[in-house]
Structure 1
């Protein structure tokens, strides 16, 4: 029989458990709630369904990029080559330098992502090079090649198929949202229940133990970086389609924003605690914060300041979670 004291203490215990669960949520959830509250008080128009869907469309490319970045970070690796991949995809699909049909341009872009991912994985997994140095070098190489090619032919209009993906709406819902969800949900289930997902968790927790236990360490690193580069390509497709034309600056902030979104979403080096949903929420949070600053008239300088502040917040969140691991 339950005592009166235990019965009286049940609500307090429930409240403590709930508070502990809320405290354990990724930073992105609380930050998103605070930003929405600020918008409701100072910029309520920003919460109109049409504008929210516009922000979701802006967040979808980053949301695709963070899927690959989160897998790499869970493996104690990193992918900073997103900007170079996006620049190359933008040039391939919009410049007309390769006189082939639009589907072939799409395929060539995917092959580029596959090649970049394999190259990154080779140096990181086989040659044991720093993932930071390897992927930054890839950005410089891709950027140099594309910049040299623009002297002969500049980027132009985006292919019709990419404009359709990036700009089409179903009612007020942008097509980019179901595309994002169609990739995010299967990947979340795959990482949670597949053998590959368990390998990723094992390697992230203790790489040396995973190596000696017979887990295919090299193969997992290869797959992770190939997936990361492919998601960078898919992200670039939506970016090019949304903007409608190619640009050398397109996607230049993808790497830093994806890194911040992954960490704020609860995924840290060697830990996938935030899963796939946390980084996705953080991707929306970043785009919402940029739009909120724009509504105050701060524009690009405000966006840069926000990016800096968000990176500091991500560093603090990472340090805090690392201290409690």
Structure 2
């Protein structure tokens, strides 16, 4: 039995290559020279092409700094006469040499490869590059990072849409903009089904860490695609406050309620309890001492007379009336509740 199958017309056009960076540059010094390499791939299958060059044409390149949606750092791309675009036929890749970035922070490169016959154009967005004044003091091993930020976000969706590196650069530059003293690179890892965890290291000495944390918690949606949930800086944990708990006060002044509330979950509860008990004990002791050293309230001065004084006298007790001030009684001894010698005379007015 012979079967014949006839298909419809199939259109076959020229290949549409795309590109993929193959040597990710993660950390360089400001103005340090580096090279980037791009491997041409098939835009449909994402598989590498068998050749990097056909015929006699060559690749030319145009490299610029990528403009992030926000939190762009000041800086510019450094190129010089020694920059070259080289096609490596063995590695099937195109390398752009002797590039540099003048500035500090996290940057990305827009790489455009064009064939000299104007048939092919490949656009590639590089990985995020951390540029430092001195990369030797920048921590790069995530195993030693003691700080992290947990955010609501879809890690898989960002990765599939090539937005993960953009998000990493945005978050890093945002932390720099609020004064967080970062001393490391940053990596993003998948926390759960809907969380993303950023790992990094913070200098424990600067005093502006608290201000940076307060700013971060007051605006949990500062970075697009992320919503901050919790923050851990140098093993000290903070939680983003619930916005529904910020109610206006009785005077109607809601301005103070907009201040960020930082919840330090590492403060020992026992310490606060001991302090409260100590305050109560101190108050009780104070009130008893005050009562023991005070004079009992006297009767209305209008009802006092010499007979009243005689009724409460206790030896030694005496009173004299001055001719110059016949309405004052000079008391030399008081007792309350038992006889005690007064430290100074007391004048009791009598009317």
TM-score interval for Structure 1 and Structure 2 normalised by the shorter chain: under 0.3
Bigger proportion of residues as strand: 2
TM-score, normalised via structure 2 length: 0.21
**Which of 1 and 2 has greater Rg?**
2
Identify which of structures 1 and 2 has the higher relative contact order when contacts are C-alpha pairs closer than 8 Å and 6+ apart: 1
